[in-house]
Amino acid sequence: MDYNSADFKEIWGKAADTALLGPYNYLANNRGHNIREHLIAAFGAVIKVDKSDLETISHITKILHNSSLLVDDVEDNSMLRRGLPAAHCLFGVPQTINSANYMYFVALQEVLKLKSYDAVSIFTEEMINLHRGQGMDLYWRETLTCPSEDEYLEMVVHKTGGLFRLALRLMLSVASKQEDHEKINFDLTHLTDTLGVIYQILDDYLNLQSTELTENKGFCEDISEGKFSFPLIHSIRTNPDNHEILNILKQRTSDASLKKYAVDYMRTETKSFDYCLKRIQAMSLKASSYIDDLAAAGHDVSKLRAILHYFVSTSDCEERKYFEDAQ
């Protein structure tokens, strides 16, 4: 019997797709607040993009975000995501990884729908950036290497900022007013990177502070993962002669008393949470200056201001529910 790939396309049906997409659909149906959709809408008020292209770009970003969360939870051995068991806990690691990888290529198919010569290159570049950032994050954890603050922020620009920047660059590539690009590209790109850094520092801060995140992702999950997050890096480097935090991270402990000890030390001894809030404030002023430049050029920046205000208006953990869906 001869086999032809065209024959298998007809055999492949809804049942097979449902089986393959089980882990992805499980996560996608348990929606977070998805700050990326809000950010794309805010970009759309500045960059004139056809509605159909905007919907495609939003869909691409959503697919990539959900797929990356599936892989992240496997790599971090996370038990919870958005308050429910992580996908790999229900479907197993192999099926979850395959489902995530499959959807990366579904996202690429969506990119091909955009009428832009640069779209595939943009997609490839930012996916490489995302995996470079994730790779360094994993390397530091697995080798118990505490990065410098600058090294960590560079990783964040690659990893967390990658999907923000992907959406922005795709929108610029299909914008109806190409002559505006040089005027707004600089401010929007730098604003996007800055928002990505603010978002990640907030996520790191809330992981060790927020009762909301405790219910949805577990108590101080970053400590259990052995992750070098922003406040942990600050604490370790502020007092390098004290190895207590490093030793706790090395254990990847689930012991609540040990994690509470680490949090109390960071709060009272190295003031790492206060430092996080100071850095967020400084970065927000920087982001605000980019938004002001766009406003001065006559662009509608009301949605961008609203997003920035939401990020930095309060340090009350109970109100920051966007971050249930953080990286």
For 93, 214, 229, 251, 264, the CA distances from 246, given in Å and listed in that order, are 29, 22, 12, 9, 15
Q: Is residue 2 part of a domain?
A: no
Q: What residue has token string 């086999």? A: 3
192 in any annotated domain:
yes
Number of domains in the chain: 1
C-alpha radius of gyration, the chain, whole number: 21
pTM for the full predicted model:
0.87
How many angstroms separate the CA atoms of 246 and 240, rounded?
10
Residue 4 forms part of a structural domain? no
* Measured distance CA(80)–CA(174) in Å, rounded: 38
Q: Is residue 48 part of a domain?
A: yes
With CA atoms as reference, report the closest residue to 82 among 139, 148, 29. Answer: 29
In a domain, 312, yes or no: yes
Q: What CATH number does the domain containing 281 carry? A: 1.10.600.10
Q: What is the pLDDT along the chain (327 residues), one digit of tens a residue?
A: 556 665 555 556 677 778 889 999 999 998 766 788 899 999 999 998 999 999 999 999 999 999 999 999 999 988 888 889 999 999 999 999 999 999 999 999 999 999 899 999 999 999 999 999 999 999 999 999 999 999 999 999 999 899 999 999 999 999 876 545 666 777 899 999 999 999 999 999 998 986 555 554 568 889 999 999 999 999 999 999 999 999 999 999 988 899 999 999 999 999 999 999 999 999 999 999 999 999 998 889 999 999 998 887 744 444 444 444 444
Instruction: Tell which residue, 289, 319, 321, has the closest CA to residue 304.
Output: 289
What does the block give as tokens for 5? 């790939």
Domain interval for residue 35:
22-325
Q: Residue 260: inside a domain, yes or no?
A: yes
Residue 318, domain member (yes or no): yes
Domain annotation covers residue 94: yes
Q: How far apart are CA 196 and CA 161, in angstroms?
A: 5
Cβ atoms 233, 205 nearer than 8 A: no
